[in-house]
Amino acid sequence: CTIDQEGLPDTGLDTSSWTCGTAPAISNLVCANDFQFAAKNTLSGADYAYYRTAALDEITYNNNMHIWEKIRLNGYTFADVSNVNLKTSILGYQFQAPFFIAPAAYAGKANSGAETNFVKAAASEGLLYVPSISSSQSIETIGSAAASGQIMFHQEYIWSDLSRLQDELSRMEAAGFKAVFLTMDNAGTSGIRTRYMRYGGGAADHASSFTIDAINKIRSMTKLPVVAKGLKTAVDVKKAADIGFPAVYISNHGGRQVDLVPTAVEILLEVHRDYPEVFSKMEIYCDGGVRRADHILILLALGCRAVGLGRSPMYANVYGTSGVTKLIQILKLELQTEMANMGLADVNQWHGNTSFINTRQVELELFGSPLSDDTHVSPTVIPKPLYTGSGSSTVSSATSSTSSSSSLTSSSSNTQTSSSSASSTTSSVSSGGGGGSSSSSSSSSTTSSPSSSSTPTTLTSSTISSSTSSTSTSSAPASTVSVTCPTSNNTVYAGGPNGKQFLIECGIDHVGGDLKSQSVSSFTACINLCDSTAGCVDVSLSGSACYLKKSLGAAKAAGGIQGAKLIS
Ligand SMILES: Cc1cc2nc3c(=O)[nH]c(=O)nc-3n(C[C@H](O)[C@H](O)[C@H](O)COP(=O)(O)O)c2cc1C
């Protein structure tokens, strides 16, 4: 075995005592990338190559791994992060974390427990698992391994043989899977994967017609909600929204299908630029190169509801269920730590909250100019869990007890079990700050029905959407919504008496144009005053002095000012 760095960050892992062909002690492994080294050390050259391979020169694979280096996180100091919440909903079902085990074929190459190991690890950690249709085990074997109440979705390909497709979709329903991820990034066959081709490679028999008619026909073949997986341009995301997919999954298949296609970050930025309205029409899942908590947070902030892990669980499966469980626990702990240190402790407030990330370098490379004058993607569009699902249970309550048994997660179980109160507190304090609105739904159903993903009341008041005029009219009462800087920066508030939409601009003063000023008790009260004052289009709050503006002067950076401008 040659354990070189493989282009991964050097984190000081010492492999000098490892024996080639033998799994090193799992205690050596402390981050997701460590599992890749361990898998390379343990698996045959062919099996490792199968998991690791990508299309052609693997440029997309490498971009997936390295795009993070171009992004900066904006952490804020003045925040209460004593309670961290990772729980969120995916397609209306509650899970303990905003990441999931993505479909990946042939788990049996790493471990005889194959996909069943993922089912068990996902159950104990409260995660979503989505097995591949090209699994080592059958749909029925995987389905029957589920814990009581465990929610799983299943992946499917668009086979050219429609009767095979129908048969598999029916079996997924019968085996209890709750949704289908329909992968549509590989017309005809799989990508050309040079690294694995040296060991043989394989053919697939995918359909070659992916027209909207063909896709709609497949959607009509199952009662389950179908999610379009493998979208890799903003245009396709928009099309998927237009034809009514409840969710889409932005993915370049880990770089395995086509080389030189963009990363999820780049595709999301294009969606922000061209079709921001889709974020409020459907859920978006993403993946590619996710190995750390900060990668997950970046994708959530860009509008993903949940983030998939492809290769990492496959590598961890060398150790069976315990390896996959440890990987999940590592990422949960990283998430809790990063979120607390960044000053935003509820994962539901990260959704679509671009005030915590600076993607300007990527925007400049991609578009030639930034998407907005400040460093944030603008306008911020806060995705919400629109899809309420039909299910009634959540992933097992076994979660907290299982996770608390490990030293890695003892803190996690603490924080999670207390998150219910944490989230509700947070939502009342700053529900304008991102999808925080959804925190109330996720926290309120620690162990019960998600179908109520029943969020909408609080969601609406903090959600921008050109398509959601209804949203603001059904806003929560103003008294339940409040905005603060910097948490709410770049989000939209519509909780005033008339439901007018204001873009929060922390640290921005639009000079001149004064209408009147008045002393107020809070930033929210200042915006509400503007909402109810004829002719007011902007506010600047300085201390308790709320300045209402009748015209929008030039934007000037002004520390200490809490600004908000009328956008509709
Ligand atoms: C070994 C392997 C097999 C995969 N098999 C499938 C599959 O059967 N269906 C599918 O939709 N995606 C498949 N994928 C893609 C993953 O679902 C996911 O999009 C990708 O791996 C994410 O990138 P990452 O590996 O960098 O996390 C596979 C990925 C790998 C690594």
The answer to whether 175 and 142 are in contact (CB under 8 A) is: yes
Q: Which domains does the chain have, with CATH numbers?
A: 1-42 (no CATH), 48-367 (3.20.20.70)
Q: Is residue 169 classed as helix, strand or coil in its secondary structure?
A: helix
Q: Which mutation among 134, 311, 328 tests ligand 1's pocket best, with the greatest number of atoms within 8 A of CB?
A: 311
Residue of 182, 364, 373 whose CA lies nearest to 266: 364
Q: Is the pLDDT of residue 446 over 60?
A: no
284 alpha carbon – ligand 1 mean position (Å): 17
Q: Is the pLDDT of residue 335 over 50?
A: yes
Amino acid at the residue 80? D
What does the pLDDT read at residue 509? 82
**Number of Cβ within a 10 Å radius of residue 205:** 12
Q: How confident is the model at residue 568 (pLDDT cuts 50, 70, 90)?
A: confident
For atom 27 of ligand 1, the residue with the nearest CA is: 310
253 alpha carbon – ligand 1 mean position (Å): 5
521-557 pLDDT, tens per residue?
A: 889 999 999 999 999 999 998 888 889 999 988 877 7
What does the pLDDT read at residue 393? 36
Q: Is residue 136 classed as helix, strand or coil in its secondary structure?
A: coil
Query: What integer is the mean pLDDT of 200-211?
Result: 81
For atom 10 of ligand 1, the residue with the nearest CA is: 103
The DSSP 8-state label assigned to residue 450 in this structure reads: -
Assigned token pair, 193:
């994967």
Q: Which is more confident, 32 or 546?
A: 32
Q: How confident is the model at residue 386 (pLDDT cuts 50, 70, 90)?
A: low
What does the pLDDT read at residue 166? 97
Query: What integer is the mean pLDDT of 330-343?
Result: 97
Which residues, listed in sequence order, are joined to residue 88 by a DSSP beta bridge?
Answer: 95
Name 397's Cβ contacts closer than 8 Å, sequence gap at least 6: 149, 447
Instruction: Give per-residue burial for 424-461: e unless 16+ CB within 10 Å, then b.
Output: bbbbbbbbbbbbbbbbbbbbbbbeebbbbbbbbebbbb
Q: Which mutation among 132, 153, 199, 309 tests ligand 1's pocket best, with the greatest number of atoms within 8 A of CB?
A: 132
Q: How confident is the model at residue 505 (pLDDT cuts 50, 70, 90)?
A: confident
Range of weakest confidence among 222-226, 384-388, 483-487: 384-388
pLDDT above 90 covers what percent of the chain?
A: 64
128 alpha carbon – ligand 1 mean position (Å): 15
Cα separations in angstroms, 369 against 66, 274, 491: 21, 14, 22
Cα separations in angstroms, 254 against 76, 114, 262, 565: 32, 20, 11, 40
What number of H helices and E strands is found in the chain? 21, 18
Give residues (CB < 6 A) around ligand 1.
50-51, 64, 102-105, 132, 134, 155, 183, 229, 251, 253-254, 256, 287-290, 308-311, 314
132 alpha carbon – ligand 1 mean position (Å): 8
Q: Tokens 């996710």 correspond to what residue?
A: 290
64-123 pLDDT, tens per residue?
A: 999 999 999 999 999 999 999 999 999 999 999 999 999 999 999 999 999 999 999 999
Q: How confident is the model at residue 520 (pLDDT cuts 50, 70, 90)?
A: confident
**What DSSP string describes 283-339?**
EEEEESS--SHHHHHHHHHTT-SEEEE-HHHHHHGGGHHHHHHHHHHHHHHHHHHHH
What is the ipTM for the molecules in this complex?
Answer: 1.00
Name the most confidently modeled range: 140-154, 393-407, 415-429: 140-154
Instruction: Give per-residue burial for 228-258: e unless 16+ CB within 10 Å, then b.
Output: bbbbbbbebbbbbbeeebbbbbbbbbbbbbb
Cα separations in angstroms, 190 against 60, 184, 206, 534: 15, 11, 8, 60
111 alpha carbon – ligand 1 mean position (Å): 17
